Chain A
């Protein structure tokens, strides 16, 4: 078999096998999933090494005709994403080993393996329709993942929300791909890249429709609203796997493909993308800051981080794009790790409510250390990985000449750090509540993935030479971008001092918040949450006034009701009205049936005369 197929086909086969294993067996399903995702991860290495050092692997088969071919091509960028997908599937399957609250283990691993397979397929596909096939197929497992994670109704409703938001944006993407494929004359990404499209007429529509699919996958505003809900209604393994890692990888991957590889964009598109990124990062971080649920807070941050990536890609200059891609992988690493710490705390204490947690550092030191590393990384503190990717995004933003985006991103960073100070302080420091007296550290299989991910945060920091040389630079080459700046290494410049200022401001804010909240760390955001003017906006946001999904769903019944009225009117035209007319006619004609022979004769002759006249005038049916 062509080795490029292994990461796609192997997990599918294993998922079907998992269904056959009895529910009663312990650990068999878990071990199978870990083994298979481990093999898939290993199988990704020859693929990426071929892409980096040899000729990239390809697989092509005729499929549905009309340009729809099943073509996979592991170029540098695709194999980078493939590596990420298989890596996260592997760590999450280890993490889930002793995570009890994941619903039925059978279906959990079924969904996990198929999500992995379809994501790998989407990353590798060169034909846009093949990509859509895998991408849209993920919907099924997204729905099943959430719906099966908890027995209560809220999980089912959130599953429906996640499904519908993503299905509608995928539909937009389908239309975009149809249009783009028609304009370009091919669905092959390599083929389109050879003659890049420009944004005019139908092509612009095609780009925008595909963009909707890409940024919605990444979790950008206004398509993000299912993520915070899923944080509460599903479980930590799901969150650390899909919204934290795979969705970001795929969404930003496709955003990069369309914005840099398939289309050459203009200044308007650049400004639009950067604005979308800045708005997403600011609004989401404002929401994240005031949350009091561990996972919900993280969920808003994963939206906010998507804003940074979109901002980076939107700069359209090599260093910004490099920053966007690097931030994509960094975010997946630390955000996945953070969700895992949340799951670990929830598993050991039974709660995710910040006001009920505290002082767990002593009880769960390894979880706490992993949290601190990942939180420092997401907050962009040197020398961890997040610092370097943010630095590149800032440079890219400054290079475009729009200083406002740089300022927005820095403000976002202050609030990011502030909310992680609040979160860490509430959970791991301060006084431990009486109820959590006997809390112990999480088991090994839960800790190991967190330690691996925290380790990656460190390994990808300190100048970030390794990821930049082997993942980011090759991706830029793949996209046809060249640049003069040196990306790797530690730059002791203005941006470094800016990051120190960010840290100081966030610390001062946290102390101020603590003082205002009378020492309760979970209330350290109240001075902003209940500030005049903001208070009203926050309470509206909590009532979901700004959630387009909820607002639209409220309006669906009346819109559908209107269409239903049209249907009833047509029913009146085809059913009631003819019946009425026929009745009226027969009643009227009854009156002529008096039994009078002369009347019948007169009517017959009159009819005959009319017929003759008509035939004479119009010449019969022919």
Chain B
């Protein structure tokens, strides 16, 4: 298959395929489930098969002309393929895990439709080379996440789902104005043509609002822990692997590899990200709901990703991109572990848990391994991303930023150790919890071991990301 076909497959299969899931449901539940998982796997296979081509320097573009700047352009480059491979991989694992997890609940057809549609819009978003289409897919993910967060349909769930969509759409509308300002200034929204151009501060700020809202960063962060009411698979998809990564991807795409931005703007982003990392880490230490804690942890870790992407040097940028990879895998694993705990103890309050390692040893080990990766302890992959981000911050040279993030990293250690201790080690409180099913436990263990393998074989991801940064990076200091 030629690259353009693969590229079209990666976007079209999940977007169009998701609409046929209700049809598959008419045949049988098993067919529907198998079909949904197959869509996820095909998407991942398509995205992953582009990786080696990108490393060999190939690119692929598919374009359809429309008037008024609506040109539909899909472009596969190192960055978009990197992001597509990560999100489709975690989504595929989540779909497999869902086979058992979601079978206990109602509205399964809608669930699968929305998850795959979500994945499809993510693919569309990362491959879009036109800001306007990026925005359209952006809103499509908001729609899917709205349905998914409100999956359980109680008033509270629906209210939280509304909050999710209102906050993110508010941000997106600000971004749309920013995009239009870019259009009026430059006469195009094609990112390939805009590379190396400068952007006005007002437009950059408006786009940033959209990014911060989507990536749940101060001051728009609180929808994310609230959305923890959703099923754990949804939180894994939204809070760990895909939705929150849209914002950081857009940051990398728009401010990392397209426009030149002023150092003052980047410095502002760093301060916001640092405060966000601190505030969320503090909240993670106080909250008692296992999923809210992990969600706050995501908010906090997103701060570290921004630190990498906005420090303005190659080391940091590479660290930030690796951070996206490591965090997606490990945090996805944590949410899925929380799903097993929640489903088997019928409880989300960590003060009412304890000693679960005895009855759920594999979940406990997977949780511990994923936590270690999030903390950035070697030999897990998280170590390298944390190290490079800090090295980049040292190069950036702001002592204030360094101190804020060191404090954030310390608190990361603290809340994750506390969480593990209370849930898995503390005194037994829950009655007869069982280990999760083989599918679920297998999924979390796979994510945990991949986190370990990414550390052991860091050579390959770092090589890829290094090529990406060297080829596409704009305005980055290159001192190593």
Name A's B-contacting residues (CB within 8 A): 62-68, 129, 132-134, 136-137, 139-140, 147, 153, 156-157, 160, 163-164, 167-168, 171-172, 174-175, 178-179, 181-182, 202, 556-557, 559-564, 566-567, 570-571, 573-575, 578, 621-622
Contacts and interface: CB of A to CB of B under 8 A. Distances in A.
A160 B368 CA distance: 13
Contacts of B105: none
Contacts of B417: 160, 163-164
A168 B222 contact: no
A175 B401 CA distance: 12
Interface in B407-457: 409-411, 413-414, 417, 421, 425-427
Contacts of A181: 391
Interface in B372-387: 372, 375, 377-379, 383-384, 386-387
B285 A136 contact: no
A560 B163 CA distance: 25
Given A64-B384, A168-B410, A573-B219, A182 B394 contact: yes
B279 interface: yes
B157 interface: no
Interface centre among B184, B384, B466 (most CB of A within 10 A): B384
A110 to B, nearest CB: 12
A30 B11 CA distance: 55
Nearest to A163: B417
A66 B387 CA distance: 11
Given A65-B466, A68-B384, A147-B425, 10 more contacts: A66-B318, A66-B391, A66-B466, A137-B378, A171-B410, A178-B394, A179-B394, A182-B391, A563-B278, A564-B283
B391 A156 contact: no
B220 interface: yes
A248 to B, nearest CB: 22
23 contacts: A62-B459, A66-B466, A66-B480, A132-B387, A136-B383, A153-B425, A160-B421, A163-B417, A164-B414, A168-B413, A174-B390, A182-B395, A556-B414, A557-B285, A559-B282, A563-B281, A563-B282, A564-B283, A564-B285, A574-B219, A574-B222, A575-B222, A621-B180
A171 B406 contact: yes
B413 A65 contact: no
B213 to A, nearest CB: 9
- List the 5 closest A-B pairs by CB distance, nearest first: A563-B282, A560-B285, A571-B222, A64-B462, A560-B282
Interface string B263-296: 0000000000000001111110111000000001
Given A63-B459, A66-B480, A174 B386 contact: yes
B458 A566 contact: no
Most chain A C-beta atoms within 10 Å of own C-beta, residue among B218, B281, B394, B411: B394
Interface string B464-480: 00100000000000001
B427 A153 contact: yes
Given A133-B379, A153-B427, A164-B417, A575 B391 contact: no
- B interface, how many residues as a size bin? 35 or more
B98 interface: no
A160 B384 CA distance: 23
Contact of B394 (A160, A175, A575): A175
A563 B283 contact: yes
B48 interface: no
A556 B284 CA distance: 12
Contacts of A139: 377
A573 B458 CA distance: 42
B113 interface: no
Given A64-B458, A66-B391, A164-B417, A570 B378 contact: no
Contact of B318 (A65, A132, A559, A578): A65
A229 to B, nearest CB: 15
Contact of B279 (A63, A202, A557, A567): A567
Contacts of B131: none
A70 to B, nearest CB: 9
B279 A566 contact: yes
A563 B279 contact: yes
Contact of A133 (B221, B315, B378, B421): B378
B372 to A, nearest CB: 6
A618 to B, nearest CB: 14
Contacts of A134: 378
B23 interface: no
B282 A167 contact: no
B286 A564 contact: yes
B406 A175 contact: yes
B191 interface: no
B50 to A, nearest CB: 22
Contacts of A179: 394
Interface in B52-84: none
B285 A133 contact: no
Contacts of A153: 425-427
A403 to B, nearest CB: 39
A562 B402 CA distance: 21
A66 B462 CA distance: 9
Nearest to A171: B409
A167 B375 contact: yes
B302 interface: no
A424 to B, nearest CB: 38
B282 A567 contact: yes
Contacts of A564: 282-283, 285-287
Contacts of A571: 222
Contacts of B466: 65-66
B428 to A, nearest CB: 11
B167 interface: yes
B387 A129 contact: yes
Contacts of A563: 278-279, 281-283, 286
B184 A132 contact: no
A578 B466 CA distance: 43
B96 interface: no
Most buried by B among A570, A578, A622: A570
Query: In this complex, which of A134, A563, A566 has the most chain B Cβ atoms within 10 angstroms of its Cβ?
Result: A563
Contacts of B281: 560, 563
B184 to A, nearest CB: 6
B29 interface: no
B413 A167 contact: yes
B193 interface: no
Nearest to B455: A133
B388 interface: yes
Interface string B113-132: 00000000000000000000
Contacts of B287: 564
A61 to B, nearest CB: 8
B480 A136 contact: no
B31 interface: no
B221 A178 contact: no
Contacts of A140: 372, 377
A556 B285 contact: yes
Contacts of B375: 167
B476 to A, nearest CB: 13
Contacts of B459: 62-64
Nearest to A571: B222
B282 A562 contact: yes
Contact of B462 (A65, A132, A622): A65
A164 B412 CA distance: 11
B315 A66 contact: yes
B282 A566 contact: yes
A133 B383 contact: yes
Given A64-B388, A68-B384, A167-B375, A567 B221 contact: yes
B408 to A, nearest CB: 10
B20 interface: no
B280 to A, nearest CB: 7
Contacts of A164: 413-414, 417
A133 B425 CA distance: 27
B283 to A, nearest CB: 4
B220 A574 contact: yes
Nearest to B316: A66
Given A133-B379, A156-B425, A168-B410, A68 B387 contact: yes
